[in-house]
Structure 1
Amino acid sequence: MIEDGDKRAVAGVLVKVLVHSRDDRGMRLEEFASRCVRQGEVHELVTTDHGVDDPRIDRVGFLGFTEISHGGVIDRGDEVHIGGEYVGKVLGFDACHFPNHYNILIHRDAPVTGEQIALTPESPVRFGVRG
Structure 2
Amino acid sequence: MKIDPYKAGKFKSSPYAKKSDVRGPLVVVLDGKIDDRGLSLIVPISRCIKKDEVHELILTDEATAHPGAIVNRIAYLGFFTAEQSGVLVEGDKVTLNGQVVGHLAGFDETHMPNHLNIVIKTTELKTGLELSANPGDQIVFQLQVKG
Q: TM-score under structure 1 normalisation?
A: 0.94
Alignment map for 1:20-39 (pairs within 5 Å): 20-39=32-51
Kindly indicate whether residue 135 of structure 2 is the aligned counterpart of residue 121 of structure 1: yes
Distance in 1 between the 2:124 and 2:113 partners? 28
Alignment map for 1:17-56 (pairs within 5 Å): 17-50=29-62, 51=64, 52=66, 55-56=69-70
- Unpaired stretches in structure 2, ≥5 consecutive residues: 1-11
The amino acid that maps onto 2:35 is D
Determine if contact 1:11/1:71 at 8 Å carries over to the other structure.
no
Kindly indicate whether residue 94 of structure 2 is the aligned counterpart of residue 110 of structure 1: no
Q: Percent identity?
A: 37
Over residues 7-63 of structure 1, what are the superposed CA-to-partner deviations in whole Å (9 max), with x where a residue is unaligned?
Answer: 110011100000001001111101110000000100000000222277421100000
Distance 1:30 1:15, change over 3 A: same
Determine if contact 1:77/1:90 at 8 Å carries over to the other structure.
yes
Runs of 4+ with >6 A deviation: none
Distance in 2 between the 1:105 and 1:3 partners? 20
Q: 1:83 aligns with which of 77, 93, 97?
A: 97
Over aligned residues, Cα RMSD in angstroms? Answer: 1.6
Kindly indicate whether residue 23 of structure 2 is the aligned counterpart of residue 8 of structure 1: no
Distance in 2 between the 1:54 and 1:71 partners? 24
Determine if contact 1:79/1:128 at 8 Å carries over to the other structure.
yes
Distance in 2 between the 1:105 and 1:59 partners? 11
Distance in 1 between the 2:68 and 2:20 partners? 29
The amino acid that maps onto 1:84 is G
- Unpaired stretches in structure 1, ≥5 consecutive residues: none
Q: How many residues are matched?
A: 131
